[in-house]
Amino acid sequence: MHDIVVIGCGNPLRGDDGAGWYAVDEIEKNSDIDKIRFLKCRELGPELSESLSRSRHALFIDVSVKEEGGVVREEKLLPSPPVTAVDAHSLEPESLLSLSEALYGHVPGSILLSVPGKSFGYEERISDDLAGPLKKLVERARSILDEWIIETDRERLISNVAD
């Protein structure tokens, strides 16, 4: 069991849509890889629910096509209403949490970090407009991960003392 899973979603061949992958690569540098599992995916599929069920915390990173203004958006996630039919091509993070709960009986504390993208053409680079916001996203992600690591270390220490 990893304490934390970080999931970067997107397509690195479609410009800004690769922001999730880029962020995961940046966050992984100098991170405690024994406590954090890093995943990159093009789409959120039901198979990710098992990784979620084995984690205390989950951080989702994606680019948004709806937002504007270059601001990092942070959202605490809760499971959506129970999943009745799974469309593997359109799962949202909340649906994955619901699936994790239904199949494995566990939902990790979860946050979604996103930044607005503008360029989704066929190119393997992030647009200049996204560079600043993406740097802020990576900084915020590292801060969240540091908090979670301290929290899980404290819980583990208390549990060991109680035993």
Q: pLDDT tens digits, residue range 82-136?
A: 655 555 556 889 989 999 999 999 999 999 999 988 888 899 999 998 999 999 9
- CA 17 to CA 91: how far, in whole Å? 16
Fold annotation for 4-162:
Rossmann fold (3.40.50)
69's CB contacts (< 8 A; 6+ apart) are 116
Task: Report residue 26 as tokens.
Answer: 């940046």
Beta strands in 26-130 (DSSP E): 36-41, 57-64, 73-77, 109-116
Q: Dihedral, CA atoms, 53, 112, 110, 40, nearest 10 degrees?
A: 30
CA 4 from chain centre, in angstroms, equals: 10
Q: What is the pLDDT of residue 148?
A: 93
Map residue 27 onto helix, strand or coil: helix
Closest C-alpha to 121, from 38, 2, 9, 13: 13
Other Cβ atoms within 10 Å of 80 Cβ, number: 15
CA 70 from chain centre, in angstroms, equals: 19
How confident is the model over 7-32, as pLDDT tens digits?
999 999 999 999 999 999 999 987 77
**Spans of all domains in the chain:** 4-162
Q: What is the pLDDT of residue 70?
A: 67
CB contact at 8 A, 8 and 113:
no
For the chain, the average pLDDT equals 87
Q: What is the pLDDT of residue 161?
A: 80
pTM: 0.90
Closest C-alpha to 31, from 139, 146, 151, 114: 146
